[in-house]
Structure 1
Amino acid sequence: MDPVTEWTGRLAHALRRAMRMSNPTFAEKLGVHARTVDMWRANSERRPNPEIQQALDTMLERADETSRKRFELIAGAESPTATPPVESLPDEPPQNATVSGPVPTHPTISPGAGSDFLDWLRISRTVSAPPDGSDLGEILKWHRKRQDLTQKEAAEFLNTHQSTLSRIENGTQQLTDVNELRHFARALGIPPSQLGVLMDRSGDAIPDPTHVSHLPGPVKDSQDHWRLVRRELNANRALLGHMAADLYSSDNILAGTAVLAGRGWVPPSPVMIDEITMTWSDIAPPPSITGGSPETARTLPLAADGQVYSRYSRALRDLAKPRLLDNRVSYRLIDVGQWARPSLEFTYTSYFETLDVGEPLGHEFAQAWMDAGRGMPRMADLPLRQSISDPFDLWARPMLPSINTLTIRRDPVGGHRFYMHLRDSSSVASGGGILHVSPAGAFQPAAIAPVHQRNDFSLWRNMQREYAEEFLGQAEHDGNSTDPIHYETDEPFASFERARLSGDFRVYVCAVVLEPLTLWVELITIAVISAPAFDELFGDMVLVNDEGAFASAEERPTSGIPFTADSMKRLETAQLSPIARACIYQAWSRRHELLSA
């Protein structure tokens, strides 16, 4: 049959009928909203935009012979009439617009076409921060025109006035309400993150008691055994972490430590935190290794219905939930740049997406260790770990970095001191039962509303929140709030920033590493705070916080531990996590550089 010279709503509808598809299925195949297909049916002579014309060509080309003949019969039943001019697409989609749908197999590019032939492609860019809704109007306009909707039609779908939509599109009216933004995204088929709206995942951590079995039998046995291995994992994390490091080549071990470091992950000297360029990308492919990978099955218990739990996080919330467990939207590390011009690149992930790979790795190792009579497991007995052929491949699995900070109170007269924290395994999902540096926490935004995404995309601000929580006992910013933190004026953040700007609160990044047991990616950082500034900022330092308690070499826990060779020697036999040891080793081996005036 002859190719279609120009598609209309009538011909598109004929193709849908010929292929015996419902409106939603046809729309999904084309990569458009179902309402767009409804519009073609209502306005048979409406001409789709050029991108959709190409997608319809491709669908017809790929149809089987029977469907093509059926289309010829249906399309020939009526003669087409004149068509109105099409509303043109913008030359280029906005930065965060996503385009789906078929791409022609053999596209034809006209000579001298310039950039207009790219108007249907998504041009991705690396930018300095996540989407914050500041280009909302451009994104709405681009998606509206891609759906072949007039402003009036789109306003009807959105249940708003055309004048309101016009003002939003031209940037004279802002839209900040999270629920309204989600409604707009849903109605126009836009990923909410493009509008700066993050998912509220707090419900993921609510236990489901119907999954827990209390009756004797294989399900209860499976759940009891899972809890046993989990307890052994938490009780022996320090030992197991150092054993896991022995599975890897010494070339990948950071000197003087048991942590793993990829090529180029360790700077030749400590880097000030404000020297690191933070970039954002929306083009990272989904990870190939996830909590749903078949290799995780051996680390999952049975649920009450006899089926294996689908994710480790779901078993954890139901069978051994720590007090602090929340599936927060988080920042996923996807690239470590050269330290000559230090940079880190991120996209989105969630806490559970990372936990669902990391904790099964630890669980698998603990089970194999128990099976080996508490001896060294063989890699052959660790199928999940084996499946990660390159642990330093940042794109292969979700890599949410934790920021681990050794805090040093710099006092050349009275003696330097540092601070350690005993993490409570009943309170935290990972790293419990061992001494760790403080503060430490995952790199996550403090709020889900669009305006806060650029605001929170900062290693330093993440650390400030952790200092407020761990040292001062303030409530955790749970990441599901819509209330922003005003770092410039809210205390203690404003005081932290003044101390940093004056040079009294210096923060250095010493390495990017992997914790060997869970292969969780970690930033090793060191904060050096002058004694007067420390006493002013942390005069009300707490002894116990939501995640555990501070340790001290003296009766007064807030006095910390002397930063001396004797303390280094004593800590050699302490129950320290590999990451804590790495932080201490980096601080001690570089102490002259870090503590210089």
Structure 2
Amino acid sequence: MHPVNGWTGRTACALQSALRMSNEAFAAHLGIATRTVGGWHQKPTVRPKSEMQQLLDAALDRASDDARSRFAQLTGSAPATEATDAELRLLDDPDITAALDWLDQHAGWEPGGSRHAVAVRLARLDLRELQDRRARRTRVSQRDLADALAAYYGASTTDHGRYTARVGDQAVQTSVLTHPDWLDLDCPLIPQHDRLTVVSASPDAELILDVEASDPAIERLAAALAMRTRLINNPLYQLHSIDIAKGRIGGSASVAHFVQYALTMDLLEGELTDALASGLQAVPGSLPLRDRYLPNLASVVDISTRLCAGGALALTAIARPADPFRGEPDYLLLVQERSGHVLNANRRLAVIPKGFHQPLADVRADAQIGVTLRREMEEELFGRDDVDSTVTSQRSADPLHPSRLSEPMRWLTESPGRLRMECTGFGLNLVSGNYEFASLIVIEDEEFWDRFGGMIEANWESSSLRRYSTTDTDLLTELITDVAWSNEGLFAMTQGLHRLAEIGGPRVKVPPIEWEIRR
């Protein structure tokens, strides 16, 4: 069972993982320095000296049958299983390694401590229980989340409040905290109006994770490995200040990394959903992570003192000519059901495109919200895998250069008036503190649908793509009041439809939509 060509750093680390030992424990087990084990993780191709090879041979010989079996699976000398795939990712996946390193640093553990903790948790996980938990979470509706957060945070003492839309005689409440000055922005997403600026990164060195905070992070990593959830450590724009008014979005942002968000703020949604699925009330003291990271409305609004990541999402409306079967001219609206493999808002309804606001190639230029939306259109609607950083590494100097655009996007940008992009509203989502730039994308030229309608296809982030007509008032009313929405998706949908009714002319026959802020 010993490696045929001798031990390398990679196979030594595989033995450590099979034995489920931390760096310190594995070093003590072999009788060597901890830094030697750390060196194997940093240089997986290195070949230890002959005396070290003998120590590793002896350690494998002494290992239990279960540990030998795990080692054989990790090194490819036994048939792979789902658990083996997860353990291989734990060993080799650079994004998982980045998350483990970040957790070691902020939990105050020696290098390798979090890897060991995740390996132990992974061995204990029951895949059926994880599937059942996912199913229970889907039964917690958008309305349940909004009501629970309203109860947790109570009344606002400022002009900020929870966004509520009235559709005809029905009201739909969201968890998006907003302000009258942040709604009906009608802000063209062009450089003169789209003005976020980048400032120096804000270090997170002062963030200390105790057991109460680090244990859910360990659980998140183990579950992500077991369920094959994608976790990619991409850079994210972190908001520090905002300057938002009608026709203008501005403020400042720095660059953070996804693992910091995934192991802190993004855990709040799962904690809340699990509590509601179990019949618990969301009150201060019952949600430890929320009590820690987002305890009151003041902490939500004060984005300068916390990690505030987020994104841009847009209602897409495509003009279509009259049709003998469908009837009069209209706009086609696209709505997605999010995949179960995304980290947040999975299995929820959302507008499309929807993505994290993050740099693609140029940190300063990409800070414009319009750049993120154009990238997301290419990725989520027009099939550009090379701009999807969860699929491939970014090597192009200018991924959105005209020469690289998809055929539909090139056509849209060739002539003025074919594509209209606006930011319609801004809010802070109480679910996890994210910022949300709700937007509207309107393809005005009817020729687009005839030319490219068959090329529109959602990517892996969606499990399905739905079509609606702006002349079908009944179906749109039913859609808006569906409790399967994500809160940010409903925010963008209603703000987008409200604006589309103002500019779309006779081809838009949506029910009257008005908003109010509940404090």
Q: What TM-score range do you get, normalising by the shorter chain?
A: 0.5 to 0.7
CA contact (8 A) 1:252 1:262 kept: yes
CA contact (8 A) 1:509 1:524 kept: yes
CA contact (8 A) 1:240 1:517 kept: no
The residue number in structure 2 matching 1:381 is 286
Equivalent-residue separation in structure 2 for 1:541 and 1:209 (angstroms): 46
- Deviation of residue 222 (structure 1)? 9.0
The residue number in structure 1 matching 2:40 is none
The residue number in structure 2 matching 1:565 is 473
SS in structure 1 opposite 2:177? coil
Residue ranges of structure 1 left out of the alignment (5+ in a row)? 1-199, 301-308, 553-558
The residue number in structure 2 matching 1:576 is 485
The yes-or-no answer on 1:481 pairing with 2:394 is: yes
Equivalent-residue separation in structure 2 for 1:510 and 1:432 (angstroms): 24
Matched letter for residue 220 of structure 1: R
Equivalent-residue separation in structure 2 for 1:591 and 1:475 (angstroms): 30
Equivalent-residue separation in structure 2 for 1:350 and 1:334 (angstroms): 15
Task: State the Cα deviation string for residues 310-355 of structure 1 (Å, max 9, x = none).
Answer: xx65334333331x32110121121110416531321011122222
The residue number in structure 1 matching 2:182 is 266
1:99-138 equivalence runs, <5 A: none
CA contact (8 A) 1:287 1:396 kept: no
The residue number in structure 2 matching 1:40 is none
Equivalent-residue separation in structure 2 for 1:345 and 1:567 (angstroms): 40
CA, structure 1 residues 530+459, in 2 after alignment: closer, same or farther (shift >3 Å)? same
The yes-or-no answer on 1:504 pairing with 2:418 is: yes
Instruction: Give the TM-score normalised by the residue count of structure 2.
Output: 0.62
- Deviation of residue 279 (structure 1)? 0.8
CA, structure 1 residues 533+236, in 2 after alignment: closer, same or farther (shift >3 Å)? farther
CA contact (8 A) 1:329 1:445 kept: yes
- Deviation of residue 526 (structure 1)? 0.9
Aligned pair partner of 2:148 in 244, 248, 251: 244
Task: State the Cα deviation string for residues 172-209 of structure 1 (Å, max 9, x = none).
Answer: xxxxxxxxxxxxxxxxxxxxxxxxxxxx8575379979
- Deviation of residue 439 (structure 1)? 0.7
CA contact (8 A) 2:197 2:364 kept: no
Which region of structure 1 is more displaced relative to structure 2, 525-534 or 475-484? 475-484
Aligned sequence identity (%): 17
1:536-551 equivalence runs, <5 A: 538-551=452-465
The residue number in structure 1 matching 2:232 is 326
Task: State the Cα deviation string for residues 508-565 of structure 1 (Å, max 9, x = none).
Answer: 112222333233222111111114254267434344521124433xxxxxx5444542
The residue number in structure 2 matching 1:461 is 371
Matched letter for residue 142 of structure 2: A
The yes-or-no answer on 1:491 pairing with 2:405 is: yes
Equivalent-residue separation in structure 1 for 2:281 and 2:147 (angstroms): 7
- Deviation of residue 411 (structure 1)? 4.3
Q: Please provide the CA RMSD for this pair.
A: 3.6
The residue number in structure 2 matching 1:420 is 335
Equivalent-residue separation in structure 2 for 1:270 and 1:486 (angstroms): 25
The residue number in structure 2 matching 1:191 is none
SS in structure 2 opposite 1:539? helix
CA, structure 1 residues 210+262, in 2 after alignment: closer, same or farther (shift >3 Å)? closer
CA, structure 1 residues 407+359, in 2 after alignment: closer, same or farther (shift >3 Å)? same
CA, structure 1 residues 245+506, in 2 after alignment: closer, same or farther (shift >3 Å)? farther
Task: State the Cα deviation string for residues 85-143 of structure 1 (Å, max 9, x = none).
Answer: xxxxxxxxxxxxxxxxxxxxxxxxxxxxxxxxxxxxxxxxxxxxxxxxxxxxxxxxxxx
Residue ranges of structure 2 left out of the alignment (5+ in a row)? 1-93, 101-113, 166-172, 322-327, 507-519
CA contact (8 A) 1:313 1:356 kept: yes
Equivalent-residue separation in structure 2 for 1:271 and 1:287 (angstroms): 36
The residue number in structure 1 matching 2:267 is 360
SS in structure 1 opposite 2:403? coil
Task: State the Cα deviation string for residues 411-465 of structure 1 (Å, max 9, x = none).
Answer: 474222210111111x211111111110111112224xxxx33453332222122
- Deviation of residue 240 (structure 1)? 4.4
The yes-or-no answer on 1:296 pairing with 2:213 is: yes
Tell me the matched-pair count: 370
CA, structure 1 residues 241+293, in 2 after alignment: closer, same or farther (shift >3 Å)? farther
Task: State the Cα deviation string for residues 474-528 of structure 1 (Å, max 9, x = none).
Answer: 3152444232214232222894585386122111112222333233222111111
Equivalent-residue separation in structure 1 for 2:359 and 2:199 (angstroms): 16
CA, structure 1 residues 533+524, in 2 after alignment: closer, same or farther (shift >3 Å)? farther
Equivalent-residue separation in structure 1 for 2:241 and 2:179 (angstroms): 12
SS in structure 1 opposite 2:345? coil
SS in structure 1 opposite 2:424? strand
The yes-or-no answer on 1:402 pairing with 2:311 is: yes
User: Which structure shows the higher strand fraction?
Assistant: 2
Which region of structure 1 is more displaced relative to structure 2, 204-213 or 408-417? 204-213
Task: State the Cα deviation string for residues 160-182 of structure 1 (Å, max 9, x = none).
Answer: xxxxxxxxxxxxxxxxxxxxxxx
Question: Which structure has the larger Rg?
Answer: 1
The residue number in structure 2 matching 1:31 is none
Equivalent-residue separation in structure 2 for 1:537 and 1:379 (angstroms): 54
Equivalent-residue separation in structure 2 for 1:263 and 1:574 (angstroms): 24
The yes-or-no answer on 1:277 pairing with 2:190 is: no
Equivalent-residue separation in structure 1 for 2:368 and 2:317 (angstroms): 21
Equivalent-residue separation in structure 1 for 2:177 and 2:452 (angstroms): 33
CA, structure 1 residues 226+415, in 2 after alignment: closer, same or farther (shift >3 Å)? closer
CA, structure 1 residues 363+224, in 2 after alignment: closer, same or farther (shift >3 Å)? farther
Equivalent-residue separation in structure 1 for 2:494 and 2:231 (angstroms): 30
Per chain length, whose mean CA-contact separation is higher, i.e. which structure has more relative contact order (CA < 8 Å, sep 6+)?
2
CA contact (8 A) 2:185 2:423 kept: no
Matched letter for residue 392 of structure 1: V
Equivalent-residue separation in structure 2 for 1:550 and 1:295 (angstroms): 37
SS in structure 2 opposite 1:381? coil
The yes-or-no answer on 1:440 pairing with 2:345 is: no
Equivalent-residue separation in structure 2 for 1:491 and 1:423 (angstroms): 25
CA contact (8 A) 1:419 1:561 kept: no
The residue number in structure 2 matching 1:72 is none
